[in-house]
Each structure stands twice: as structure tokens, then as C-alpha cells.
Amino acid sequence: MSRPLVIAGHASGVGKTTVATGLMGALRRRGHNVAPFKVGPDYIDPGYHLRATGVPSRNLDTWLTSAKQVHAIYERGARNADIGVVEGVMGLFDGRAGGRDDGSTAEVAMITGGAVVLVVNCARLSRSLAPLLMGFDRFDERLELAGAILNNVGSRGHARMLKDAAREVGVPVLGEISRDERLSLGSRHLGLVPATEQPGADETLEIMIDAVGRSVDIDALLDIAGAPAALMDSTLASVHQQAAAAGNVSIAVARDEAFSFYYVDGLEALEAAGAKLVSFSPLKDDELPDCDGVYLGGGFPEVFAAGLEANAAMRRSMAAAAQDGRPIYAECGGMVYLCRGVEVDGRRFEMSGVIDSEAQMTGRRQALGYVEARARRSSIIMETGERVRGHEFHWSTVRWQDDHLAYDCFSNKRPEVEPDGYARGQILASYVHIHFAGEHGAAARFVRACSRARDGVSR
């Protein structure tokens, strides 16, 4: 197995997604089977990876899973590939907490044995590139900085100055990408606009692939990936996904333009626990498919609120499923859909009414980052007092019902404990995104709850 190319940045917003996705597509054009990965909890960038490679992108996140699981997820994703390409998160050494590399691109590069390729936004740089590269090259000797790709290069003269600066500190330049507004991807409050919504996404993707294929030394990158590298301790490689059991429990998973925030390995963990997953669309389908439980992931219900409100038949079907006692697990956007309604820009839209609460878009970010959630009461995936790691990112608020609060949430970004979510009977909904491939057993518990509800056994 070749080692992965880890496309990192010196900061956020330097062009990692453009370079990583363009590289994936350029390698595919050459006939390579590419395994795409994304560091961190991001749901949107993997959608572009899928379009570029034709292969689902897997998230590598040590907070939501573990170092062992990250290693196993990488091995599983790269098993049938010629080369793995990992898109980093934020700056190379930026992680969950200052002073440590927990959750950083650097940590994942060390776990997977990857060679780091640093993307540098050179729009306002010339010789100062030299100390920047020197710092990233020498900061942590456990990492190999294989080279740099210079982005937003203004001219041939600018490129010469930058290459001279890189030569001073001995860091190879593996490509220079000229400034081009066509390479920018649309964004909104949660980051990039998903590929499924991006007007002209396929055209933009082809421009990105052309630019990387033309401006980056693909042969040099292939040589770097083909060189041997020591992976982390082999004992960590012993974590393998459980073989999928016969799918005798059916879980309906909301998957359309409004709900798309799922981790590939999380869905596979549900299947391994014995679930048969059936996709449905809250926007377009009249009713839920025949199922024993429902999984409503995150997404953008506020963007598609009018369409969700217009589909009254599906809203009634969701309410009926809850009334029948079928387990329903919902995260963030899915939780908003379970509320009575959501207010967007001063207008209220009817939702499914499973939860007797109202959601409101605020126009500003309410939460961003990793959290640890402690269960206030037992639910379909947790027992009272148990903890699970998760991630939050939302611009809405919900007035929770104190009698049915699901979690107390702890974050290193805020000193106070934050109550969150709704847990009552067979319903669990909150702003917290978890990873079902984590080592907390939530996948097996959710499948078991669905099985017991189907068989008429009370919890």
C-alpha cells in the first residue's frame, strides 16, 4: 500500500479543497484508483471528493473516533486504491486544543504515515515564504514535509521569487497555481455550498482538475507516495470493522438536498450492527419507507424550509412514526425538522411537530467545535451519566423543554455547561453530531432499540 499524500495548509482558506480535489481528479484522469479522505468532522468537502473520484470520501477524526479507528478507517478506504489523498483541516498543526496536536492534520499524517504537501496562499508573499516553509518543515521532526504547492501566484516573476525563497530553505516546490477566480467555490454560513447545490459544480470541478493537472508535478507526487514510510504501531492496525450482519432491522435514512450530513463509516457501522439502511427524501417522498427506525442527519433544512413545509404528507408520516413508537435519532438539521416549526428571516415554516419546540435561525453562529455530551437521561443510544464525543456547528437556536433535556455539553471553548437536546421515549434529537463508528457502542444500541421496538418489547 502506498502512503497517502496529506494536503495541508499553513492556515484555513489557503486553497486546500481546491488543490486536494483537483489532485484527486487529476490522478483519476491518469487512470489511478484514488481513495479520498478528509481530516476532521467536515461533511461538505467530501462531497467534492466524491465527484472528483467517484469514491465516497471518509473522515479521519481522532476526537469523534480514536487513533485506532482512524488507522482502521484509512486502511479500509485505501484497500483497493492505488493512492490515498487526504485533505487536511485548518492549518497543519491546528487541532482541538492549543499546545497539542490532538485532532490536527499533523496527527492524522503521523497516524497514517502520510507525506505532507503544504498548500501556501502566496497572494501577498515573496521571500517571506522562506521562513514560513522553514518553520513548518522543522517544527515537528516526526513529520515529513515533502514539498509545497504555491497557490494564488500572480505572475511568472512572482513564481521565480517564490521558488528562489523555497530553494533557500530546501523545501521542494511541487507546483505553482496561478490566481484564478474561477477556482473559488461558493460558501455560506456552514462553509462551502454542498456540491449537490453548487450551480455549475461540474464545470468548476473540471477547471480545478485542469489547473492542478497543468500546474502541479503529478509524477513527483506519485514518487513521494510510492516511497516506503513507517506507519504507526502495528498494534493499532488490529482494529477492523465488524463484518456486516444480516440486515434484519430496517432504518430509514433521510438523504436529499436538505439532509446530507453523514459519515460513510458511521453508516457502515450501523450496517455492521445489523441494520439495513433505506434512503428517503423528506422533500420529495410522500411517506417514510417501511422501516423499524429513522435516522435524520444534519443538513440545511432552513434553506429548503418551504419545500419541507409543502410536503405535508411526509411531515404527517414522520409524526405517525413517532406516535407508533419507532425510534428516531436526529442531529442538528434533522432535529430542526422534528420541531413544530422553524423561523427563517422572520417567516415561520411548519415542520413535523414530533418535538414540541420551535427553532429559529439567528443570523449568527451559535456553536462551532468539539463537545463532550453527558446524558441527562437514558435514551435509545445512551444510559444516564454516560458520555459521548461529538461536534456542533449551527446558526439556529431551540427553546428546549427542561423536562426532556438530553445532554449536558462540555467544551474547551466555553467554561459553562450547555444543556442540549431532547430525549423522550424512543426519540433522541440534539445539535450534537456523533460518529457511529466511534468506540461508544451507539450504533449497536440504536439498532437494538429499533429491533426491540419492532418486536414490541418495551425499553
Give φ, ψ of 437 to 5 degrees: -90, 5
| 99 phi-psi bin (left φ>0, alpha ψ -120 to 50, beta other) | left
- Residue 385 to residues 215, 334, 373: CA-CA distances in angstroms? 54, 24, 9
Q: Which residues are paired to 368 by β-bridges? A: 393
For cell 502512503, the residue is 3
Q: What share of the chain is helix, strand, coil (3-state, %, to 5)?
A: 30, 30, 40
- Residue 452 to residues 249, 406, 445, 447, 449: CA-CA distances in angstroms? 10, 21, 10, 9, 5
Query: Which residue of the set 122, 332, 339, 450 is catalytic?
Result: 332
| 406 phi-psi bin (left φ>0, alpha ψ -120 to 50, beta other) | alpha
The distance of Cα 420 from the centroid of its chain, to the nearest Å, equals: 21
- Residue 429 to residues 224, 339, 355, 398: CA-CA distances in angstroms? 45, 10, 9, 11
CB < 8 Å & 24+ apart, contacts of 178-184: 178/152, 178/153, 178/154, 178/211, 178/215, 179/123, 179/152, 179/153, 179/154, 180/207, 180/211, 182/207, 183/15, 183/18, 183/207, 183/208, 183/211, 184/18
Radius of gyration of the chain (CA): 23
What does the alpha-carbon distance between residue 35 and residue 1 come to, in Å, rounded to a whole number? 12
Task: Report DSSP state, residue 413.
Answer: T
Give φ, ψ of 142 to 5 degrees: -75, -15
Rounded to the nearest 10 degrees, what angle do helices 129-138 and 156-168 cross at? 40
> And the C-alpha cell for 230?
513507517
Identify which of 142, 120, 123 has the alpha carbon closest to the alpha carbon of residue 131: 120
Active site residue 332: yes
What does the alpha-carbon distance between residue 50 and residue 54 come to, in Å, rounded to a whole number? 5
The catalytic residue positions are 332
